[in-house]
Amino acid sequence: MRSLEERRQHMVDVQIARRGIRNPHILTAMATVPRERFVGPDMAEFAYEDAPLPIGEGQTISQPYMVAEMIDAAEVAPGDRVLEVGAGSGYAAAVLAQIADRVYAIERLKVLAEAAQERFEALGYPNIELRIGDGSKGWQDAAPFDAILVAAGGPEIPAALKEQLAIGGRLIIPVGEERGQTLIKITRLGESDYAEEDRGLVAFVPLIGEQGWAEDGARSASNHTPGHARGDSLSDMIAQAAIPLPPLDDPEFGRFFERWADRQVVLLGEASHGTAEFYRARAEITKQLIAKHGFTILAVEADWPDAATVDRYVRHRTGAKAKEPPFKRFPTWMWRNTEVDALIEWMRDHNKGVSEAKHRAGFYGLDMYNMSGSITAVLDYLEQVDPTAAKAARERYGCLTPWQKDPATYGRAVLTEGYRKCEAAVIEQCQALLRKQLDYAAEDDGESFLDAAQNARLIASAERYYRVMYYGGGESWNLRDTHMFETLEHLLEAKGPHAKAVVWAHNSHIGDARFTDMGISRDELNIGQLCRQRFGERAALIGFGTHVGTVAAASDWGEDMAVMRVLPSRADSYERLCHDAGISQFLLDLSETRQPALHRRLLEPRLERFIGVIYRPESELWSHYAEASLPRQFDAYVWFDETQAVTPLGPEHARAGAPDTYPFGV
Ligand code: SAM
């Protein structure tokens, strides 16, 4: 476990410096101020996460990067007199006080202001003057200011704040509606001459006051830096390099992927969790690799116990049967769909002709044992004891991916107050569920790869895991993907030295994280990266993408599945480049040796779309796009210009004479 100083320095290196903030004053100040002292003791362990955190009164301490970004934009320098509106925990004021000569801070909520004052006294910040009040009117007696930073979003720029700027002074303020405010920088050039600069989209809690919003208390937010538009004629190069693919029902389809058949691990991604073409293409590739090239492991992004039930079916295994049918919990359509069902039937059929049990192709789950089960349990429980907390938790779990930069993240942090009250009970629920699932796993027929030590370790770390899962974005992601990778390794070991595996998981798990926003600015890793590091050239990472169509997804965690329209891809995305290539479905080999010129031209990061089990078209840019360098992320990319939603399995799909437990015969 790293010391607090080390974690603080790590935060500065990874979250601040790597995102391009170079000002040494800011870096030093943020490496000095103990952020853990500005949150409650129960939140201290998350103090260096890349996220806002609750501080009480429905408010939050800002994400560290946002604090740095605003100070950078305001060009705060030694000797300056600075006003901060919305002091909250006092953290940003403390960082400012490390740099500027004098800091004036205003907070409208008394409880927060008093707590911040105590911190300033305890930590020794004599150059901060704090007062309780409406900061939208500024602080006339202390004006003029060299810089004014507003940590809450207003409907327009308060005239009072502009007037209180010194000539040459800078005002930084988020302006606009709840979602999609713009961070504005105003520089006072002369008595009545101001320059205005747009610093990109952000989202903040509302500025409530005379020159802000009326009090309604309902707004919530986060921040976001949008991608930069770039235009060029790369699409022609893509068109030239693209290998057109035959229809999915053409028996030749899978053969196009035989160039990776000699790899030990072939990882197949998907750009959503509900697109039929991605499932069908992966099924065809997998069938080819199993039938012709000796692959015996299909390891998917699913819970172990559920996948084990399917495995028992496809490998004609005997032994204890599951108490309930698999994949009955949200998001059911991810595995209960006609596309997966067809593959399962094919595997069962294929295995019938394989006499030696160890050569039969198995179906395994890589995910944390009960990720979705535990989330459901938490939600059910909260629903009973605290519906507001349940709503917050549902939204929060909907964003358990590194790509979600939804403004609502901020709101979720705000609302964790409710969750915290019953956290102990929630964790107990999760642990009980975990124990039950592991007991069940241990009942397996001797083929179980989950040994007792692994179970014991999991239960011992469960409490931390659930806490991290709720509060800590990056850490929980790394925990999960490391677990998936270790499970894959475990499977390969158990199957012997020549074992070969196909992995199905979302592009965000498969594409090497080191070349995406998640790795670069959040220090997150994933199974694709770990496979490359472990297997080198023996692993192939293949991503999937689409331009437009429909997708099966939900608006929030636990909500009903809907078939939603996928918006046409953005003009500044990789997807648009592929769309403009004008070929309806193709395979693009991205390797440097096979396509050196294309590889080079595609290197510069651009936006890429990531749709999970949740799709929120209304905030698509924030919620679903992130920057990545496609040719470094993947060895190849599979393109379907227009795609359709998967078909979930319902009673209408039951075959005549099939048991109640259809599908999967369990
Ligand atoms: N900079 C803070 C920190 O580091 O903890 C975070 C501030 S939080 C995002 C925004 C704060 O603005 C809240 O504490 C809220 O109460 C406060 N606020 C909103 N409207 C205000 C106003 N008119 N005057 C002063 N404070 C205001």
Q: pLDDT by residue (tens digit) across 640-658?
A: 999 999 999 876 555 444 4
Helix (H) or strand (E) holding 60: strand 59-61
pLDDT band at residue 463 under the 50/70/90 scheme: low
Specify the DSSP element, H or E, that contains 455. helix 452-460
Each domain of the chain, given as residue ranges in start order, spans 4-224, 243-369+489-646
Query: Residue 451 pLDDT > 60, yes or no?
Result: no
Q: What CA–CA distances, in Å, run from 491 to 498, 534, 544? A: 12, 15, 25
The CATH homologous superfamily to which domain 4-224 belongs is: Vaccinia Virus protein VP39 (3.40.50.150)
136 Cβ inside 6 Å of ligand 1:
yes
Q: How far is ligand 1, taken at its centre, from the CA of residue 161, in Å?
A: 15
269 C-beta closer than 6 A to ligand 1: no
Q: What is the DSSP pairing of strand 636-643 with strand 539-553? A: parallel
Q: What is the mean pLDDT of residues 501-505?
A: 98
Give the range with max mean pLDDT: 412-416, 440-444, 473-477, 573-577: 573-577
* Ligand 1 atom 11: residue of nearest CA: 86
Dist CA 83 CA 343 (whole Å): 62
pLDDT in tens, 288-342: 999 999 999 999 998 877 888 898 899 998 765 656 688 887 789 999 999 999 9
User: Residue 233 has what pLDDT?
Assistant: 78
For residues 64 and 355, give the distance between their C-alpha atoms in angstroms, rounded to a whole number.
59
| Residue with more model confidence, 450 or 573 | 573
Can you tell me the mean pLDDT for 60-88?
A: 94
State which CATH number among 3.40.960.10, 3.40.1660.10, 3.40.50.300, 3.30.365.10 fits the domain covering 243-369+489-646. 3.40.1660.10
- Phi/psi region, residue 383 (left: phi>0; alpha: psi -120 to 50; beta: rest), is alpha
- Which of 193-202, 475-484, 651-660 is most confident? 193-202
Task: Report the chain's mean pLDDT, rounded to a whole number.
Answer: 83
Q: Give me the helix-helix angle, 24-32 and 91-99, nearest 10°.
A: 130
Looking at ligand 1, which atom is closest to the CA of residue 61? 5
Higher pLDDT, 158 or 482: 158
Return the pLDDT at 490.
83
The model's pLDDT over 386-416, given as tens digits with 9 standing for 90+, comes to 777 677 666 655 544 333 333 333 333 333 4
Tokens of 445: 């027929």
Which of 208, 213, 215 gets mutated to test ligand 1 (max ligand atoms within 8 A of its CB)?
208
Question: Are residues 327 and 336 in contact, defined by beta-carbon separation less than 8 angstroms?
Answer: yes
* pLDDT score recorded for residue 229: 29
Q: What is the DSSP letter of 302?
A: E
For residue 213, what pLDDT is reported? 85
The whole-number pLDDT of residue 220 equals 29
State the Cα–Cα distance between residues 607 and 576, nearest whole angstrom. Answer: 10
Which amino acid is present at 395?
E
Q: Which two tokens stand for residue 476?
A: 């929980």
Is 39 touching ligand 1 by the criterion CB < 6 Å? no
Residues whose CB is less than 8 angstroms from the CB of residue 358 and which lie 6 or more positions away in sequence, other chains included: 296, 495, 496
State which of 10-14, 236-240, 634-638 shows the largest mean pLDDT: 634-638
Instruction: Assess whether pLDDT exceeds 70 at residue 455.
Output: no
Look at residue 659 and tell me whether its pLDDT is greater than 50: no
Q: What is the pLDDT of residue 653?
A: 54
Give yes or no for a contact between 77 and 99, defined as CB atoms under 8 angstroms apart. Answer: yes
Residue 39 DSSP symbol: S
Closest atom of ligand 1 to 209 CA is 23
Q: What is the average per-residue pLDDT within 427-447?
A: 56
| Mean pLDDT value of segment 95-121 | 97
The answer to whether the CB of 541 falls within 8 A of the CB of 257 is: no
Burial class of residue 420 (count of CB atoms within 10 Å of its CB; 0-12, 13-18, 19+): middle
Per-residue pLDDT for 249 more than 70?
A: yes
What count of Cα atoms within 13 Å lies in the side-chain half-sphere of residue 203? 20
Considering only residues 92 and 601, tell me which one the structure prediction assigns the higher pLDDT: 92
Q: What pLDDT shows up at residue 467?
A: 61
Report the pLDDT value the prediction gives residue 665, as an integer from 0 to 100.
Answer: 45
Of 114-123, 249-258, 293-302, 305-314, give the lowest mean pLDDT range.
305-314
Establish whether residue 135 lines the binding site of ligand 1, counting it when its CB lies within 6 angstroms of any ligand atom.
Answer: yes
pLDDT of residue 356: 84
Measured from the CA of 211, which atom of ligand 1 is nearest? 23
The best mutation among 70, 82, 85, 110 to test binding of ligand 1, ranked by most ligand atoms within 8 Å of the C-beta, falls on 85
> Average pLDDT of 461-475?
60
Residue 597 pLDDT level (bands cut at 50, 70, 90): confident
Q: What token pair was written down for 649?
A: 């399995």
Is 91's C-beta closer than 6 angstroms to any atom of ligand 1?
A: yes
Q: What is the pTM of this model?
A: 0.65
H helix runs in 100-201, sequence order: 110-123, 159-163
**Tally of CB atoms within 10 A around 594:** 13
Return d(Cα 136, Cα 117) in angstroms, integer: 20
- Is 309 close to ligand 1, i.e. is its CB under 6 Å away? no
Q: Which residues are catalytic?
A: 62
Question: Does residue 223 have its Cβ closer than 6 Å to ligand 1?
Answer: no
Cα(89) to ligand 1 centroid in Å equals 8
Distance 108 CA to ligand 1 centre (A): 7
Query: Does the pLDDT of residue 527 top 90, yes or no?
Result: yes
Sign of CA dihedral 409, 410, 413, 418: negative
pLDDT higher than 90, residue 587: yes
Q: Residues 198-220: what's their mean pLDDT?
A: 72
- CB crowding 188-205: b at 16 or more within 10 Å, else e: beeeeeeeeeebebbbbb
Find the mean pLDDT for residues 260-264. Answer: 97
User: pLDDT (tens digit, 9 = 90+) per residue, 314-323?
Assistant: 999 876 565 6
DSSP letters, 189-217, are EETTEEEEEEEEEE---B-BSTTSB-S--
Burial class (CB in 10 A: 0-12, 13-18, 19+), 149: buried
Total residues belonging to the chain: 666
- Taking alpha carbons only, the member of 219, 429, 443 closest to residue 318 is 443
Q: Which atom of ligand 1 is nearest to the CA of 84?
A: 1
| Structure letter (DSSP) for residue 168 | E
570 lines ligand 1 (CB under 6 A): no
Contact 164, 188 (CB under 8 A): no
**DSSP single-letter state for residue 514:** G
